[in-house]
Amino acid sequence: MKFKMRKKTIIIAGTAVCIAVAGLLVVPRMVSAGSSDVTVSAAPVRMGDLTNYISVTGTVESMNTTYIYAEVNEKVKAVHVKLGDVVIEGQLLCELETEDIETAIAEHKSAMSHSSQQSYNQIKEAERVYNDAQSNLRNSTNGQVNNVSNSLKTAETELADKAESL
């Protein structure tokens, strides 16, 4: 316990010496500055806002970052936002060059139109061949029926002639 008491006494004495030395160094300078009076300004107390400004330099980073990738590989025609802009859902961010895509679409439409025309022509040709075949079948069948009918009549006539001759 004596040791703790002695330690406190040494610290208090050291602090007192430092204050005395500081006082001896500061007071003569204040007196040598030309005036021994200290100027103090006073103002009445009033209600108001206190404003302090602090200027600092640093890096601001977003808590939420989203990377956006296009589903197609095309050149960017125009960008409608700048770095750091706040965007909302559905907002147009950029436009892509569409000339290559539009050309490809036109080519595919043309190919489809040509293919459709070819298919139409093939269907019409198949219908014509079918109708011709039906017509030929009808004509052929009628001709065969007539030939058989004539052969039957001839056979009946011959039969009747032979039956009379008997």
Single out the residue of 97, 101, 95, 60 nearest to residue 78, CA to CA. Answer: 95
The Cβ-side half-sphere exposure at 150, using a 13 Å CA radius, reads: 6
| 3-state SS class at 80 | coil
Measure the CA–CA gap between 114 and 120, rounded to whole angstroms: 10
Cβ–Cβ under 8 Å, residues 95 and 77: yes
- pLDDT of 3 reads 65
The DSSP bridge partners found for residue 95 are 78
**What's the distance, CA 165 to chain centroid?**
105
Map tokens 């040791």 to a residue. Answer: 3
> pLDDT of the chain along its 166 residues, tens only?
566 677 788 888 888 887 877 777 766 666 555 555 667 777 787 887 777 778 888 888 878 877 877 787 888 889 999 988 888 988 998 888 888 888 988 999 998 888 888 888 888 888 888 888 888 777 776 677 777 777 888 888 887 777 777 6
- Distance (Å, rounded) from C-alpha 156 to C-alpha 148? 12
**E-assigned strands of 2-66?**
none
Q: What is the per-residue pLDDT for 107?
A: 92
Distance CA 80, CA 68 (A): 14
